């Protein structure tokens, strides 16, 4: 057996690929064959139900200190050692992420990292000394009752007040923290460090700050954070913990983007790279190895499965992949192989890409008929669904084009496209290119970074030095305003087409 060290965040198969170790992946990472198994040691997200079921099909001998995992499903959160009998040589993966380890004096104490997404909130508890992940809790943001996007939440505060939305999120986080602590058997007093990231509006609402100015020109924030304070200010039980709120760049390029930059290494000196975080807001950053540009574009919640007639979050039963089979029929797969209940963001992209291949939808987005059923799932997409995806895709693709124009780069000059976001790891690069969301010349250079904002929050919890790096990067980043940018306006119209032309 040979041993490889991979230093990466995101999918293990991507880290191995980036290191030049191409595992045999019979189902091309579609998570069906169960044949991409490797032994892993290090910080990983525990196997979900689907991976566990596949692993049970092919039992493996034990290797002390290592877990047997499927590389196309195993999310890694830092440095891991991988043992496989099918790869040759020993290589240290060359990726941009800074090697950050705990710089405190109590290795047994616990850290907590939280990402408040507009749609989903995720909380991790881990041991600081060895970064062992002890608990992960993820829930729909309870503030969705006040609107699915940032602007509707801001509007809602005019009626119910910021304090009400603050109360909703603090109550939710307190409950999630209790659940996570129960899972680990630890006490609140064991937590000594905590980082909470999110977009600028989510952190304003967490802090109970007024948000009206975030929603109207010139979109002025009350603060851009980048501060440490006692965690008990928000969570009275966390009497031993310090809370770090990472810095943002502007109202619409927030602390979550800065965390993503830290996690992926985009903006560190060196290579030209692109970070795309696809969510309710599309946030992007490009570095030419020296300067760093970033922007945010309102993609709407289509990528999160919201405002789509059969849309749902990426939960068991959501259609997550769609393809055209050899016999011309449309195949599909649901999360956890459950009966189809709806469709999530990755399924939506892959369904529309398949409809384009099957000529059921044309490049202008016009659909044959008023709705198309996905295989025999009972789940259909309507013309309005396709139009929503078209708008969201155009916003992201035109944002990428504008950043590249600012940086004076062509897509093919970039060495890596880091794809982050709730479903970035699950979205098929082929489908994303198929609908023209990502430039086709980068298809071989896509690295799925998972929830890069959350990974960045883990790094900021581990090390105070990393906070200095994040603050410098935030200060150095140049924000590109898209609303009146001539390149954005031109490209937005052109990118409404599903052709996927790489014509920047």
- Cβ proximity to ligand FES: between 25 and 41 the closer is 25
**Burial degree of 339 (CB within 10 A; 0-12, 13-18, 19+):** exposed
Longest CA–CA separation in the chain, Å: 65
End-to-end CA distance of the chain: 45
Kindly tell me which of 46 and 161 has the beta carbon lying closer to ligand FES: 46
Nearer to ligand FES, 1 or 53 (CB): 53
Rounded CA separation 77/376 (Å): 38
Per-residue b or e along 93-109, where b marks 16 or more CB atoms closer than 10 Å to that residue's CB: bebbbeebebeeeeeeb
Q: How far apart (Å, rounded) are the C-alpha atoms in residues 89 and 21?
A: 9
Residue 467 CB, nearest distance to ligand FES (Å)?
36
CB of 24 to ligand FES, least distance (A): 8
Kindly give, in sequence order, each residue whose CB lies less than 8 Å from that of residue 326, ignoring residues fewer than 6 positions away. Answer: none
Q: Which two tokens stand for residue 362?
A: 């044309």
**Least distance in Å: CB of 449 to ligand FES?**
18
Closest distance to ligand FES from the beta carbon of 4 (Å) = 17
* Torsion angle of C-alpha atoms 440, 355, 362, 298, degrees rounded to 10: -60
217, 136 in Cβ contact below 8 A? no
Q: Which spans of this chain sit near ligand FES (rule: CB under 6 A)?
A: 25-27, 29, 31-36, 70, 72
Give me the residue label for tokens 């999110």. Answer: 198
**134 membership: H or E segment, kind and range:** strand 133-140
Question: Could you give the 3-state DSSP secondary structure of residue 118?
Answer: coil
Of 26 and 270, which has the nearer Cβ to ligand FES? 26
Q: Which is nearer to ligand FES, 24 or 270 (CB)?
A: 24
Mutual orientation of helices 452-462 and 255-264 as an angle, nearest 10°?
80
Using the minimum distance from each CB to ligand FES, give the nearer residue, 13 or 192: 13
Q: Other C-beta atoms within 10 Å of 189: how many?
A: 13
Q: State which residue, 29 or 260, has the beta carbon closest to ligand FES.
A: 29
Nearer to ligand FES, 38 or 403 (CB): 38
Give the shortest CB-13-to-ligand FES separation in angstroms. 7
**Residue 57 C-beta: closest distance to ligand FES, Å:** 10
Q: How far is the CB of 36 from ligand FES (least distance, A)?
A: 3
User: Toward ligand FES, which CB reaches closer, 73 or 310?
Assistant: 73
* Residue number with CB closer to ligand FES (203 or 314): 314
Tokens (6 digits) for 240: 């031993």
Q: How far is the CB of 53 from ligand FES (least distance, A)?
A: 11
Residue 205 contacts residue 161 (beta carbons within 8 Å): no
- Cα 325 to chain centroid distance, Å, stands at 29
CB of 98 to ligand FES, least distance (A): 29
Residue 126's SS3 state is: strand
Distance between CA atoms of residues 473 and 295, nearest Å: 14
In the complex, minimum distance from the CB of residue 26 to ligand FES, in angstroms, rounded to a whole number: 6
């Amino acid at each position: 057996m040979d041993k490889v060290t991979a230093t990466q965040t995101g999918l293990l198969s991507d880290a191995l690929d980036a290191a030049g170790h191409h595992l045999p992946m019979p189902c091309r990472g579609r998570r069906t064959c169960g044949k991409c198994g490797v032994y892993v040691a290090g910080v990983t997200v525990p196997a979900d139900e689907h991976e566990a079921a596949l692993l049970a099909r092919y039992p493996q001998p034990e290797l002390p200190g290592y877990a047997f995992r499927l590389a196309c499903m195993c999310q890694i959160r830092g440095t891991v050692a991988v043992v496989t009998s099918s790869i040759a040589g020993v290589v240290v993966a060359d990726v941009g992420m800074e090697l950050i380890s705990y710089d405190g004096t109590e290795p047994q104490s616990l850290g907590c990292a939280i990402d408040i997404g507009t749609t989903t909130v995720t909380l991790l508890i881990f041991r600081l000394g060895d970064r062992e992940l002890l608990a992960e809790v993820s829930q729909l943001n309870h503030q969705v009752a006040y609107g699915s996007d940032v602007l509707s939440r801001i509007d809602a505060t005019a009626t119910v007040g910021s304090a009400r939305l603050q109360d909703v999120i603090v109550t939710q986080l307190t409950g999630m923290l209790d659940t996570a602590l129960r899972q680990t058997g630890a006490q609140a007093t064991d937590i000594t460090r905590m980082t909470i990231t999110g977009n600028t509006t989510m952190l304003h609402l967490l802090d109970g700050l007024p948000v009206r100015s975030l929603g109207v020109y010139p979109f002025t924030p009350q603060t851009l954070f980048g501060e440490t304070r006692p965690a008990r200010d928000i969570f009275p039980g966390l009497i031993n913990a310090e809370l770090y709120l990472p810095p943002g760049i502007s109202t619409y390029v927030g602390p979550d983007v800065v965390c993503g930059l830290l996690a992926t290494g985009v903006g560190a000196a060196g290579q030209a790279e692109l970070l795309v975080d696809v969510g309710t807001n599309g946030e992007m950053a490009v570095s030419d190895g020296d300067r760093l540009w970033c922007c945010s574009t309102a993609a709407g919640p289509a990528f999160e499965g919201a405002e789509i007639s059969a849309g749902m979050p990426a939960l068991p039963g959501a259609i997550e992949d769609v393809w055209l089979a050899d016999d011309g029929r449309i195949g599909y797969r649901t999360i956890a192989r459950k009966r189809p209940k709806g469709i999530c963001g990755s399924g939506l992209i892959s369904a529309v890409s398949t409809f384009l291949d099957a000529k059921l939808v044309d490049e202008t987005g016009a659909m044959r008929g008023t709705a198309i059923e996905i295989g025999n799932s009972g789940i259909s997409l309507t013309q309005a669904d396709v139009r929503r995806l078209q708008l969201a895709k155009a916003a992201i693709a035109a944002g990428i084009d504008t950043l590249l124009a600012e940086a004076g780069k062509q897509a093919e000059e970039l060495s890596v496209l880091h794809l982050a976001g709730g479903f970035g790891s699950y979205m098929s690069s082929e489908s994303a290119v198929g609908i023209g969301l990502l430039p086709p010349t980068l298809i071989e250079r896509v690295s799925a970074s998972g929830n890069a904002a959350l990974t960045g929050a883990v790094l900021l919890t581990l090390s105070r030095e990393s906070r200095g790096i994040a603050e410098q990067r935030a200060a150095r980043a140049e924000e590109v305003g898209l609303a009146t940018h001539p390149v954005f306006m031109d490209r937005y119209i052109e990118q409404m087409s599903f052709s996927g032309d790489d014509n920047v």
